[in-house]
Amino acid sequence: MHDYKAAANALENKTILITGAGDGIGRVAALTYAKHGATIILLGKTTQKLECVYDEIVNLGYPKPAIVPLDLRGATKQNYRDLAATIEQQFGKLDGLLNNASILGSLGPLEHFCVSTFENIIKVNVTAQAMITKYMFPLLRKSPSASVVFTSSGVGRQGREFWGPYAISKFATEGMMQTWAAEVGKTNIRINCINPGATRTSMRASAFPGEDKDTLKTAEELMPTYLYLMSESSNDVNGQSIDAQPK
């Protein structure tokens, strides 16, 4: 799937919700999915960033997106219920959910982690993803073919020193994906994980400040895998954790 070539209209008539759509990989996924015909619901923390992505999509002549400013750290059941009601009213169904937003927190020994940082990371990276998936589920059931994609990491598959609560949150993401996937079985909904691998974004720069960013893949280079999992070419793929970069 690293060399997957999606048809120009591969996502036509699909409505896809992307968390963390204002920056980094989420922003590029939003532009890419819109380019392939999807209507994108751009969810993120910073309204101004979402508005920039909105403008880019509209200026390129892609389907008009929607904006949902929401800080996942403080989001409540009612926020998710309201979001589901608005999507139901405007679109009637949801065909894709890209659970992409995450925070890194600070790196360091687990022995010294700060409890409030730990709680924030779990809230944004785990609890919010679980809740948004739960509350979107009735809308995903209404799609003829729905895809939920969680975002993992290499440190969510093999423990690595000093990656602290972030690594723990990504192990939880892998487990959440597997549990959801086992429960849905063979239905109209498939649930998988992407591990983007080292990618040129601000999160990567904060983890590796001294790194030469030109040695890293860009988010654009990952998009064949992101397109594959959101398009109907992956209809039979469920419960997989897939690398967006070849090994």
Q: Which residue lies nearest ligand NDP, judged by its C-beta?
A: 24
Is the separation of the CB atoms in 57 and 78 below 8 Å?
A: no
Minimum separation from the CB atom of position 37 to ligand NDP (A): 23
Alpha-carbon torsion angle 26, 29, 33, 38, nearest 10:
0
Rank residues 179 and 202 by Cβ distance to ligand NDP and give the closer one.
202
Shorter beta-carbon distance to ligand NDP: residue 18 or 181: 18
Q: Which residue, 18 or 143, is less far from ligand NDP as judged by CB?
A: 18
166 carries an active-site annotation: yes
Strand partners, 66: 41
CB atoms near residue 246 (< 10 Å) = 9
Note every long-range contact of 209-218, with CB atoms under 8 Å and residues 24 or more positions apart, other chains counting: 217/245, 218/28
Cross-sheet strand order for the sheet of 189-195: 66-69, 39-44, 15-19, 96-99, 146-151, 189-195, 241-243
**Nearest-approach distance from CB 30 to ligand NDP, in angstroms:** 10
CA atoms within 13 A on the CB side of 157: 15
- C-beta of 185: minimal distance to ligand NDP in Å? 26
Active-site hit among 54, 62, 135, 166: 166
Residues that bind ligand NDP (CB under 6 A): 20, 22-26, 44-46, 49, 71-73, 100-103, 124, 151, 153, 196, 198-199, 201-204
| Positions marked catalytic | 166
